[in-house]
Amino acid sequence: MGIVFAPLGLVLVFTAAITPQWREGQARLAMAGPGPPPRSGLKGQGPGIRPGSVEALLLLRSDGLWESCLQVAQSELKQCWPVAGSYQRDPRVRLAQGLVLTSLFLCGTGIVLACIGVRCWSDLPLRGVAATGGLFVVLAGLLSLSALGVYTHNLGRLGMEHPGQPINNPKFPHLSLRPAGSLYFGWLGSCIQVLGGSALLLSFKRPRCPSCPSCPELPACPMCCSCPEINNRPETEVYEVSC
């Protein structure tokens, strides 16, 4: 379970880190569109109305840890750029970046230690090394969970130097921000990391040999000890098992 869950969690957290969908918002931008010339109003009324003279353009804005994107809905017009400005300088964004990078490094190190400790090509595993790898994976999951918690809690205020200020150019309308898909990938991957690391950390216990009935304080293994009450039992069979 640990060997499978730890790499899976690493892949999910890495996917969340490099994608720019940590938060997203929509805004409608009014644009003047083509239409017939205005008709003069009736006598005593105001000027005529030009039908179809205003079109609403739906803009989709998304931000990640290292990249932001702007896309026009229902079209292929999309532009992405590295995070900049007040959003990049926000200490909470920098904290999330540092926690995620540290989490990825610890999880990768833990997976390497776990593979060395499990040693499927050998009869006996290195339990201490495997447990240390599991501890690193658990710490990685907790760090990524902390980064996600900080970002989610301050999602609507990141990059705003003053409360209520738009997140980008003042000419743009206010965007209603909400969590996006990358956050869910990160939450899932972090939880999987904690589960996989806990499995590695807790499952490697030193095996206990059966005790000799005559000397209960001394461990007695049928393969390596000379306890007559164990070795002389006719129903005792010893099998050699190799990985």
Q: Is the pLDDT of residue 169 over 60?
A: no
Where in the sequence of the chain do the CATH 1.20.140.150 domains occur?
2-28+56-203
**Cα(142)–Cα(194) distance, rounded to whole angstroms?**
7
Task: Tell me what the pLDDT averaged over the chain comes to.
Answer: 76
Question: Residue 219 in 3-state DSSP?
Answer: strand
Do 8 and 177 form a contact (C-beta atoms < 8 A)?
no
pTM over 0.75: no
What DSSP string describes 19-81?
SS-SEEEEEEEEEE---PPPPPPPTTS-----TT-EEEEEEEEEE-SSEEEEEETTSS-EEEE
Residues 6+ apart with CB under 8 A from 94: none
Dump pLDDT digits (tens) for 35-51: 555 454 444 444 444 44
Note the Cα 46 to chain centre separation in Å: 59
CATH code of the domain occupying 2-28+56-203: 1.20.140.150
Q: Which residue has the tokens 């010893």?
A: 238
Residues 6+ apart with CB under 8 A from 65: 17, 22, 83, 93, 96, 97, 100
Dump pLDDT digits (tens) for 140-167: 999 999 999 999 998 888 877 554 444 4
What DSSP string describes 159-191?
T-SSTT--SS-TTSPPPEEEE-HHHHHHHHHHH
